[in-house]
Structure 1
């Protein structure tokens, strides 16, 4: 039976042009109208902008590993139904993808009915799990808001600032380490503002594909004639800019022009100024980017009006038990496991960690434990890579380590594994960025990670 045309979006990620055209044709005949991406970078940009409820994802992409992209999508929007596509000889990888949260997998060559059926089932499940979401709030946003725990004094101070800035239309600039909750903070500001009924549109200004970024932000470039800009889609709502200091000088100038004039590329003579509220976020004070010659001073003063700094996870230990419990239940549901609780011993072990990767690292550690073990209790034995030494550093204080002492007794393989895992955590779980930091090929990290997973069983 031909499904009704979905009002919600569908994204197709396929790098082979002929196959992308074929799949798109089949889907359009079935009543769907997918947005398409040919690379991982393009898929990341479209996913951040559109948040499609269902994604058809080829696991072999020219610029990244499909499993990593799958993990990043589900971390960003856990309710998304991702259907992975794999070659006939790579079924094992597709099974691995389902263990990581994929809704279903398809094996090439794809049968039309099988593909359409998988998409229809994914759409149906997405709608069923989001029916209980609050009015005007998606399940993804509710998930991140639930994780925005504020039992500690540093986070209570943050929520006080959020309440204050939400009542204003002035630009907000959120500063916080990777994984500290900048996206959740931006969503909370938006939801507590008078703009809550309007869109919150997110743009990662650090994307390496400048043309795709320009098209997404301003509606120009290769897709300029087929898609609205993020600026237009955020009309009446909020535009959330991640890392605006990473925009090229040309794009910084264009953004500044829009902020100064209220006119975008789509504006016509006589149009009213575009009504948007800007929230920006970065790991460090953007003043450092000005000193390094990376950011225009005029743009800095347009964006850095109401600053808000998020504490790292190790500075808010009172929040960790609640956050970890929420993450555990959420991941267990995704993985089809029966985890219900964290034992006091395991919780003490989690609280003793420095958590350099903050919430991203905590989520990754819990996901690994859930995937590799069965519940209902999370125990210390399921956290083999956790340090047993307590973290005595005071909240916010720098941790000074004696390198010889820290590495004593470790094999070269263990030292290498720690260095790679730390780099992945620092880069928000992105293996390509971690590989760039370590000056090695991403394939090296993928290969070593596969070896770690095999040895863990």
Structure 2
């Protein structure tokens, strides 16, 4: 359901056929939107200039103007606008041309209700997601500072790595535990590159319908005749949408083997054919990937093609776990506390000293995501200006105070009372911390394979 600020004045529908305009408007209103209406290019531009809607449904075939020209003028007035173009004469070439010039999506008449509402909802969702990282060239550094708050050695290594790889066109593979900010890292690579003014397109292979993943990636060409798939529509896939910009592919190992082979051919040729078409379309795309599991292990297990692995695993970049970032935790906690308190209408502004000390001792297996959940728990369930230990979730509030060192006996065994699994976790975590979050260096110290550490940390996250 769209947020409140999008309902009143956030959507413009441009359609010159009265019956279709009425039909589309009815569907949108039932979904909770309140679209402004226009029936010509001139009316559309006048309405757009006055109200500056954030999302536009634009028919390319208008009685007084070329729809693409109207789209260009709208984007010149407000570049961040998400424009969804509609046509009865769609082709893949038109879809690519529209997306290259800034269209968010491409629909072909007759429009399905679900497809239209899905496209509109996606446009608004993308705008909300990009608010914190929408910057011009002068403000780009500030956005990166917000995304990667902290001065630890581990984060400085990440900053340096991003600066080194941003100007390249080589694929980047981002590694790291769940919740460490791998997508923010990918956006930072994009914002630091000369593609920053172009689109950053995300495709999560694990979240997509496996049967639709090929279309999500390569797009779809409408059938040339009425036979066959009558519901098929011309649709620009993630690759076409990212032309000139960056394509961020998550969990690429969840593609089936045949689709992995097709994706490899795209990487080798820099061209692709949409589903239902044989014509090759040339594109210029920078690829950034990430995975929820160790890609080396997936390659050895046969889940990731070996030839694709070596094509993708050119520049690895590892996001450090929160527990390896030292007092960065305090900076992040303060930032998110202010953000969550504002969202919830609360007065919280700081932490008690014992909470700050405790934060430095926690393993944070869920990383920044876990930190945010802990803070939201405290803010939602309590009132005040200072977050105290009693306000934390029960499992954290009852931990021993890190400042109260229990008396020890001479020659006491530091591992007494611990299971082998607990000893192993402590040893690996300590080694990673000693090496500033670097898993490969920790693995060399412990004389084990890095993949062993990644596998065990995944097991800990699930525990």
Partner of 1:61: none
CA contact (8 A) 2:171 2:287 kept: yes
Report the alpha carbon displacement of residue 204 of structure 1 after superposing the two structures with TM: 0.9
Find out whether 1:263 has 2:267 as its counterpart: no
Tell me how far apart the structure 2 counterparts of residues 169 and 324 of structure 1 sit (CA, whole Å).
35
Tell me how far apart the structure 2 counterparts of residues 189 and 401 of structure 1 sit (CA, whole Å).
45
Question: SS at the partner of 2:160?
Answer: helix
Partner of 1:240: 248
Report the alpha carbon displacement of residue 143 of structure 1 after superposing the two structures with TM: 7.3
Trace 1:269-308 onto structure 2 (pairs within 5 A).
273-308=282-317
Partner of 1:6: 11
Tell me how far apart the structure 1 counterparts of residues 36 and 260 of structure 2 sit (CA, whole Å).
36
CA contact (8 A) 1:356 1:426 kept: no
Trace 1:37-52 onto structure 2 (pairs within 5 A).
none
Partner of 1:203: 203
Distance 1:21 1:246, change over 3 A: farther
The one-character-per-residue Cα deviations of 1:84-130 (angstroms, maximum 9, x if unpaired) are xxxxxxxxxxxxxxxxxxxxxxxxxxxxxxxxxxx9xxx8xx89x95
Partner of 2:399: 388
Report the alpha carbon displacement of residue 348 of structure 1 after superposing the two structures with TM: 1.1
Report the alpha carbon displacement of residue 29 of structure 1 after superposing the two structures with TM: 8.6
CA contact (8 A) 2:11 2:33 kept: no
Partner of 1:183: 183
Partner of 1:322: 331
Partner of 1:402: 418
Report the alpha carbon displacement of residue 193 of structure 1 after superposing the two structures with TM: 0.4
Partner of 1:163: 163
CA contact (8 A) 1:170 1:305 kept: yes
Partner of 2:445: none
Report the alpha carbon displacement of residue 401 of structure 1 after superposing the two structures with TM: 8.0
Report the alpha carbon displacement of residue 336 of structure 1 after superposing the two structures with TM: 1.8
Unpaired segments ≥5 residues, structure 1: 9-19, 34-52, 55-118, 393-398, 407-424, 429-433, 439-457
CA contact (8 A) 1:145 1:188 kept: no
Question: SS at the partner of 2:149?
Answer: coil
CA contact (8 A) 2:28 2:35 kept: no
Tell me how far apart the structure 1 counterparts of residues 307 and 192 of structure 2 sit (CA, whole Å).
28
Distance 1:359 1:142, change over 3 A: farther
Tell me how far apart the structure 1 counterparts of residues 244 and 134 of structure 2 sit (CA, whole Å).
22
Find out whether 1:217 has 2:227 as its counterpart: no
Tell me how far apart the structure 2 counterparts of residues 285 and 247 of structure 1 sit (CA, whole Å).
15
Report the alpha carbon displacement of residue 276 of structure 1 after superposing the two structures with TM: 0.4
1:253 to 261, 264, 283: 261
Distance 1:405 1:261, change over 3 A: closer
Tell me how far apart the structure 2 counterparts of residues 346 and 183 of structure 1 sit (CA, whole Å).
29
Largest Rg, 1 or 2: 2
Distance 1:173 1:189, change over 3 A: same
1:26 to 30, 34, 38: 30
Partner of 2:97: none
Question: SS at the partner of 1:361?
Answer: helix
Tell me how far apart the structure 1 counterparts of residues 210 and 416 of structure 2 sit (CA, whole Å).
39
- C-alpha RMSD of the superposition: 4.3
Question: SS at the partner of 2:179?
Answer: coil
Tell me how far apart the structure 1 counterparts of residues 339 and 418 of structure 2 sit (CA, whole Å).
37
Report the alpha carbon displacement of residue 167 of structure 1 after superposing the two structures with TM: 1.4
Tell me how far apart the structure 2 counterparts of residues 29 and 305 of structure 1 sit (CA, whole Å).
45
CA contact (8 A) 2:25 2:35 kept: no
Tell me how far apart the structure 2 counterparts of residues 239 and 132 of structure 1 sit (CA, whole Å).
16
Report the alpha carbon displacement of residue 317 of structure 1 after superposing the two structures with TM: 1.4
Matched residue pairs, number?
A: 306
Distance 1:189 1:30, change over 3 A: same
Find out whether 1:354 has 2:363 as its counterpart: yes
Question: SS at the partner of 1:210?
Answer: coil
